[in-house]
Structure 1
């Protein structure tokens, strides 16, 4: 759609997409989108926004809808105010700039809120984009960028990176951050592909998607590389990776050298870059061949730009000056309010505020920042240099100066004795002039940079007062309580903490209540990315419930209700087996090393087997029910597999399957294959299971529909569903399961129940719910193992009186028995933690089945923080035990 001014002044980002035809433009979990399809969607978005230029506030996100809205606005000539998809930030920017249109997600879909027909503003013809500086949020100070800025910077980046139309870059950074947006722009101008994801690089699922989509590059700020270290990036096999870019702050030279050497060995390049929002993104880059020899340099100016040094009065080093950049990507200027949107260009060059020197080969190196110098006791202190020195010592820190005092905010785990005295000596300050403040984690912006405003707020707090709590602090306490993991930090996630299906139920329900919403994929997100609802905020009655939790709750009700005779709806147990495979894929096949995987799986097997054996031993030897083989979980192995003795086939089948997989994954070759081909392995095993299902591999007449060999295909089906990363893979799983179920039982209703559950599991992450339903479903799903165990003894006591009452009693008894097991397990774990042998013998608890809580094996237990202990006592319940893929 043509804007009301010269079409040639527009960036080609939104206009020329169709010219790339059927090349793949976007890859998501749900499939691929060609440039032709993307162009059609962009045209519809442009028409929806209308022809008259208006100010469009867009809640950015690494999603197709956000990208389409962004490109549609550019194509139609509407200036875009790009902000994070955060309610508080959106409200602040709406109040500050009064946009004409607000485009954002709401109620599960994208909305275009047309606040007026025309525009309330005078908009300069060149104005294309408004961004916050350095990824900051909520500040009314914005950078005004033109279409020429966007076009020039995108083409410059594409040139020096050598972006090809066959490349596919993963969106590791937020779209509203200039670095993240530059990845989008530079690939679109070359007809390359984008892997849209909001997952963290610390998430195993990110790398599964990256491999499946044929990823060739990704971008990172310094914090990203810290996460890469934790994720075991140096051991990953990424055959398509061509290069990794780094910007958004200084990466320590030794880390640059390390990753440059790692890339050289693995066949990819590290490209260090330098930029600012005021330059649309990039001003300099370091040719990858120079990274190992010049790891402290930012390199040379990007194509089309130039760098020079401006002398700084009073600086002791005459070779150091302020870095000044000139180029077509320099901003029009700043905006401090709506009136500034009418302004044209007010600057021709960019004074970066960074101090630099020019070294051998014309390479520039940043040595400090002029705005981060402070006078303390009459001495000029370079705060950035203090931080860099502490970083070399392994102490993450951020500095601020006030009232003749240097405040150093350090992460508590890295704090060292006499740190204040060390800093004082380095800065030639009296010891009393340095104050150290501990914080669990340095505050960071959405782009991963240290939040200097938050650091200043910490520094301004009275001496001795605790650092202001970040919004994630309460969530860390929640995770620590439910998972019984002291020392939880905002960088941890449910998966990295070792959580699995039983703890998943409680955490998901409590998180949904705390957040007001449950983000898709929350279990792989760092806690710092989960934003709690503000105190006093209005809470909607509408809630969401994780599909796997809903299916587990529904299945156990169907199982118990059918056995009791309240109704006859079969299929719940077989559906639970598929859900168990799904949870096995999500919570056990994570990115941790092989030994931790095996210990975690052994713990989960123990959490199924030990309560079952203990309960059945009581029933067999005290009440006289069943057979001794049931108490030892041997009925499916040695028979008789008839009558009442078959009641527990499901538990035995699940235990046998998990033990077999534990032994298989203990082989390094199998472990490596699963990591490299996470979907292919369960797909192959599903195929093997279907050979048994269709009698291609016949079993004996006793091997019917309740034995491990005959039912493994259902577990493998759930496993494959958990690892399906593309639409094609999901469709394959759905088709295979639906076809295999046809005629399997000879009971259409039963087969339909399982098929419907499978479709939900594959395609629907969350289902609509209410707070009350969530609590009920959480209790039932979390106690499903115990309900299955105990209902056989409970319902006969009441079925002649009232079968519905017998069902309610059976469900309640299972929940109570589960709570008792949790309490006993937690006490045993605490008692073991207090013994001198605990540090050396934690692994023995796994074998014995009284394992440490989720993810805490085999490491020795640390004392629980007092606040968590008090919270436990107030609630009168222990920590949940290690969870199972039930």
Structure 2
């Protein structure tokens, strides 16, 4: 084959300079015009040489990677594109394909590692790009794409999205992923701007960058929409947003309707798309105007493409077959395949489809997702649909030996297995069901079927057991999360929040993570497990000596408040008001940890969180009832505030616990109503303000709840909730004013009221506070054990206060921490025991 570089080049990459001084790239370090980008591309192209060679590029969402990609495309060098953060994939593909040159970014420049002069390969003149279909595994099976494929698909996407030179796209997906790359190609084709970032949508900095750069679009996979719900996307003010695209897997029709409706109200559009790497990226899109009426459809073929449905013997629906100029040349499995030209003319998608009455195509299943078990043909997609109809989110995988199903949430695996076996006519012994906190996903957000298979009782963890992967650096982080959250499956892309962590488990995890890392990283609760694991590996046994460490404000307030509460009760100090600060903190943490995800799984987490308050409280108060005469049966069942005596006696010791339980239970019950839950998601800041207004009715005695001595703390709980939802300075100023206006006069004690106002303002304006390094672990411990200390101190301090108030305080704190540790240990043991029992019964 000829090695003449003039044979083929990618037009939009070779003609960057035609856009002159228009901004091509915006990033954290500034901007690049198209002319500047073209100059850098040309410089790297010269370094690659005049002879056509096979290049491998490890790419991130940075300028250097973009330049390296465009340089290879503009100069005509076939390119293997790989993720920068997966060195094992590079090692595997270098061994398999022996590239002539390896490119990677380093210290703000493109590093070129020349493995040989010239080339050791025969390269077909049409060959432009090689992409993996298996994510970051380094599989030698690659898709061979031509220059015409890339140009045609970019033109097609730019046409139906209406991309113009005035658009600015955020890079929410990796460049090495065909969907992420298609965003780059289609925008450069039209002279638009790319806002390069690897920030996640859960990072506030992402949205600051979005607004600052006037971005007009971003790309999303199904998992992205779960993250958007967690950050209150529906309430965000994004005046420049023009559209959102979605691909990378099927988005639930309800979510399509929800976000299409949100877009219609907010002035942007949702494009649901369908594609495969083998089609360069896109094959179909759903016109935004049809998303509300046909949310389950993939839509119509992209411009220049066409579908047909080929019957499949024995199946109701046929296979979807695509043809168009973006269909790949074929696959490569060895270096010799790089010399091949076109070996396929159309793409068999492997998806089963139908065309509805409106002419829209709908994917109804996956042809390859069938297994034959004991002579029965099982549709794995149908398995998931059966469970979805029961309100159970599931992912299934299997082989001819058996079926493995992961179900999300706290469902009974044995019962689900029985129902499913009956529904599909499969012998019970051929079916395993495993309950997990969240379904296994790949980094792209797609279902991780291998992760589901790993749950199988032969070789995989059983329900409740933490993963055993002690050979990896991140294992300690994984084990911390697994133990704290009682999970079986945790992946590198998971975060504490995405795994369902709440305010109680938050501090427990903080203590162990701080011990492992030597410090507590900022925003660790939304940092991926893999990133924390890498930090742990880098840290090793080294610990920096610092005078001060920064801890989250909510943690510091919990620790300081419980110390002052106990000290005031004992008489060691006198500082009132901190119990009411804790009520605001409770609302703050409820909003942070209990309001993410879909309604039913969220409801289960909320019920479980209330139970983690009720169970240790009832257990200890029951013990106190047996050994003292201070308490009643109403105390044990947390009903003293309702049916107990009106006069203040020792029976009112646990008022804080009772009111907290009432608030959490009421909020959980309220949010169980779909319309209420929907309203909270649509109006995340306004919703707690409405609750705050309701609470002020009791605060100013305009309404009497009929429960004596329980101060109207809904007002403070809702205020803390609103603090967690405040995203803008104006919102924070409004809440500051609310605190300054509503707290004074509540206690008729200025110092007490100042304490409450100060606590709320700290929570509102300061994300973290400095703590002496020597007190860091003590602070974390006190915060985590605050509930248990409050319970225990009523029995401990009377034994020692006559001898030494200081000793009584110390003993109360220590005893509460010990009870907290006992409860955590018991919960972990019971959870694992439950998992071991549920695992075999579900198999």
Task: Give the TM-score band, short-chain normalised.
Answer: 0.5 to 0.7
TM-score (norm 2): 0.65
CA contact (8 A) 1:25 1:193 kept: yes
In structure 1, the partner of 2:83 is 84
Task: Tell me: CA distance 1:681–1:458, structure 2 relative to 1, closer, same or farther (3 Å).
Answer: closer
CA contact (8 A) 2:374 2:400 kept: no
In structure 1, the partner of 2:328 is 331
In structure 2, the partner of 1:785 is 771
In 2: Cα distance, 1:91 partner to 1:458 partner: 28
CA contact (8 A) 1:136 1:445 kept: no
In structure 1, the partner of 2:276 is 276
CA drift at 1:458: 4.0
Task: Tell me: CA distance 1:407–1:485, structure 2 relative to 1, closer, same or farther (3 Å).
Answer: closer
Counterparts in 2 of 1:285-434, with a 5 A limit? 285-315=285-315, 317=316, 320-411=317-408, 413-414=410-411, 418-434=415-431
CA drift at 1:245: 1.1
CA contact (8 A) 1:127 1:145 kept: yes
Deviations for 1:356-415, whole angstroms, at most 9, x for unmatched residues? 111123211111111111222322211112123323444332222334522212335455
TM-score (norm 1): 0.62
SS in 1 for 2:57: strand
In 1: Cα distance, 2:439 partner to 2:540 partner: 35
CA contact (8 A) 2:88 2:137 kept: no
Task: Tell me: CA distance 1:607–1:508, structure 2 relative to 1, closer, same or farther (3 Å).
Answer: closer
In structure 2, the partner of 1:113 is 113
Task: Tell me: CA distance 1:389–1:116, structure 2 relative to 1, closer, same or farther (3 Å).
Answer: same
In structure 1, the partner of 2:187 is 187
Matched, 1:864 2:816: no
In structure 2, the partner of 1:689 is none
In structure 1, the partner of 2:124 is 124
CA contact (8 A) 2:332 2:338 kept: yes
CA drift at 1:20: 1.8
Deviations for 1:70-129, whole angstroms, at most 9, x for unmatched residues? 111211211111112212222111111112222235688753222112222211111111
CA drift at 1:35: 2.0
SS in 2 for 1:347: coil
In 2: Cα distance, 1:513 partner to 1:334 partner: 48
In 2: Cα distance, 1:189 partner to 1:196 partner: 16
In structure 2, the partner of 1:604 is 556
Deviations for 1:662-690, whole angstroms, at most 9, x for unmatched residues? x9999899969962469x999xx9xxxxx
Task: Tell me: CA distance 1:463–1:474, structure 2 relative to 1, closer, same or farther (3 Å).
Answer: closer
CA contact (8 A) 1:664 1:670 kept: no
CA drift at 1:25: 1.9
CA drift at 1:604: 3.0
In 1: Cα distance, 2:822 partner to 2:539 partner: 39
SS in 1 for 2:129: strand
CA drift at 1:513: 11
In structure 2, the partner of 1:234 is 234
Counterparts in 2 of 1:437-476, with a 5 A limit? 437-459=434-456, 461=458, 474-476=476-478
CA contact (8 A) 1:357 1:365 kept: yes
CA drift at 1:156: 0.3
In structure 2, the partner of 1:102 is 102
SS in 2 for 1:864: helix
Task: Tell me: CA distance 1:664–1:102, structure 2 relative to 1, closer, same or farther (3 Å).
Answer: farther
CA drift at 1:255: 1.8
SS in 1 for 2:11: coil
Counterparts in 2 of 1:810-821, with a 5 A limit? 815=774, 819=777
Task: Tell me: CA distance 1:297–1:387, structure 2 relative to 1, closer, same or farther (3 Å).
Answer: same
Tell me the number of residue pairs that the alignment of Structure 1 and Structure 2 aligns: 635
Deviations for 1:572-599, whole angstroms, at most 9, x for unmatched residues? xxxx9xxx7xx8xxx67xxxxxxxxxxx
SS in 1 for 2:328: coil
How large is the RMSD of aligned CA atoms in angstroms?
Answer: 4.7
Task: Tell me: CA distance 1:42–1:108, structure 2 relative to 1, closer, same or farther (3 Å).
Answer: closer
CA drift at 1:206: 2.0
Stretches of structure 1 that go unaligned for 5 or more consecutive residues are 557-575, 589-599, 623-627, 634-662, 686-707, 723-780, 788-814, 838-848, 854-859, 871-886
Task: Tell me: CA distance 1:818–1:260, structure 2 relative to 1, closer, same or farther (3 Å).
Answer: closer
Matched, 1:164 2:216: no
1:675 to 708, 715, 727: 727
CA contact (8 A) 1:274 1:285 kept: yes
In structure 2, the partner of 1:137 is 137
In structure 2, the partner of 1:245 is 245
SS in 2 for 1:59: strand
Counterparts in 2 of 1:330-729, with a 5 A limit? 330-411=327-408, 413-414=410-411, 418-459=415-456, 461=458, 474-478=476-480, 493=495, 507=513, 510-511=516-517, 524-527=526-529, 532=534, 600=554, 603-605=555-557, 607=559, 675-676=727-728
CA contact (8 A) 2:476 2:533 kept: no
Between 1:349-358 and 1:12-21, the stretch displaced more is: 12-21
SS in 2 for 1:52: coil
Task: Tell me: CA distance 1:527–1:115, structure 2 relative to 1, closer, same or farther (3 Å).
Answer: same
Task: Tell me: CA distance 1:356–1:502, structure 2 relative to 1, closer, same or farther (3 Å).
Answer: closer
Between 1:58-67 and 1:493-502, the stretch displaced more is: 493-502
Counterparts in 2 of 1:791-810, with a 5 A limit? none
CA drift at 1:251: 1.4
In 2: Cα distance, 1:34 partner to 1:188 partner: 12
Between 1:346-355 and 1:82-91, the stretch displaced more is: 82-91
CA drift at 1:528: 5.3
Counterparts in 2 of 1:45-64, with a 5 A limit? 45-64=44-63
Task: Tell me: CA distance 1:509–1:337, structure 2 relative to 1, closer, same or farther (3 Å).
Answer: farther
CA contact (8 A) 1:143 1:335 kept: yes
CA contact (8 A) 1:494 1:524 kept: yes
CA drift at 1:40: 2.2
In 1: Cα distance, 2:173 partner to 2:717 partner: 34
Task: Tell me: CA distance 1:247–1:673, structure 2 relative to 1, closer, same or farther (3 Å).
Answer: closer
In structure 2, the partner of 1:30 is 29
In 2: Cα distance, 1:139 partner to 1:668 partner: 49
Deviations for 1:758-801, whole angstroms, at most 9, x for unmatched residues? xxxxxxxxxxxxxxxxxxxxxxx99x7346xxxxxxxxxxxxxx
Task: Tell me: CA distance 1:17–1:504, structure 2 relative to 1, closer, same or farther (3 Å).
Answer: farther
SS in 1 for 2:368: helix
CA contact (8 A) 1:128 1:147 kept: yes
Stretches of structure 2 that go unaligned for 5 or more consecutive residues are 579-714, 737-753, 796-808, 814-819, 831-843
CA drift at 1:353: 1.0
In 1: Cα distance, 2:228 partner to 2:509 partner: 26
CA contact (8 A) 2:456 2:462 kept: no
Matched, 1:263 2:263: yes
CA contact (8 A) 1:10 1:148 kept: no
SS in 1 for 2:285: strand
In 2: Cα distance, 1:427 partner to 1:104 partner: 50
CA contact (8 A) 1:58 1:82 kept: yes
Task: Tell me: CA distance 1:52–1:863, structure 2 relative to 1, closer, same or farther (3 Å).
Answer: farther
In 2: Cα distance, 1:4 partner to 1:826 partner: 66
Deviations for 1:518-568, whole angstroms, at most 9, x for unmatched residues? 9x987643325656599xxxx8899999xxxx7xx6666xxxxxxxxxxxx
Deviations for 1:663-718, whole angstroms, at most 9, x for unmatched residues? 9999899969962469x999xx9xxxxxxxxxxxxxxxxxxxxxx9xxx9xx99xx
Matched, 1:18 2:70: no
